[in-house]
Amino acid sequence: MPIHLPDIDTLSLVEQVSQMLVVRTCGMLYDHQIQYPQWELTSKQLQTLISDYGVGGVILLGGSAAEIALKTQQMQSSAKVPLLMAADIEEGVGQRFSGATWFPPPMALQDVGIDYAEAMGRVTAEEALAIGLNWVLAPIVDVNNNPSNPVINVRAFGVTVGEVMGATRGFIAGAKQYPVLTTAKHFPGHGDTAVDSHLQTPTLTHDRARFENLEFLPFSNAIAAGVDTIMSAHVFAPNLDPQNIATLSPHILTEILRDQLGFEGIITTDALIMSGVANLNSPEAIAVQAVKAGADILLMPVDPIATIEAVCAAVESGEISRDRIKQSVQRIWKAKQKVCGIPTDLTQLGKPENLEIAKEIATKSISVHSAIPHLQSGDTSKPKANYLNLIIVDDPLTCGEFLNSRSPAVLFPKNSGYHRIITDGQMIEHLQLKQFTDIFIQMFSRGNPFRGNTNLHTKTQTLANALLASERLEAMVVYGSPYALDPFLQILPANIPWGFAYSQQPEAQTAVLQKLGFG
Residue numbers annotated as active site: 198, 270
Distance in angstroms (rounded) separating the CA atoms of residues 107 and 95: 15
Residue 349 CB contacts under 8 Å (≥ 6 apart), including other chains: 65, 93, 99, 100, 101, 127, 130, 131
| 106: nearest Cα among 118, 97, 132, 298 | 118
Give whole-number Cα distances, 191 to 155, 158, 228, 449, in Å: 10, 10, 21, 14
- 85: helix, strand or coil: strand
DSSP string, 490-518: TT--TTS-EEEES--SHHHHHHHHHHHT-
Burial 68-102 (b: 16+ CB within 10 A, else e): bbbbbebbbeebebbbbbbbbbbbbbbbbbbbbbb
The SS3 assignment for 63 reads: coil
Half-sphere exposure of residue 224: CA atoms within 13 angstroms, side-chain side:
11
CA distance 421 to 390: 5
DSSP 208: H
Contacts of 457 (CB under 8 A, 6+ apart): 445, 484, 487
Give backbone dihedrals phi and psi of 57, rounded to 5 degrees, phi first. -170, 175
d(CA 132, CA 135): 9
d(CA 119, CA 173): 9
Alpha-carbon distance of 488 to 473, in angstroms, equals 12
Residues 99, 27 contacting (CB under 8 angstroms):
no
From CA 229, how far away is CA 253, in angstroms rounded? 12
Q: Strand, helix or coil at 1?
A: coil
> Alpha-carbon Rg of the chain, whole angstroms?
24
Of the candidates 448, 376, 386, 371, the residue with the CA atom closest to the CA atom of residue 418: 386
DSSP state at residue 428 = G
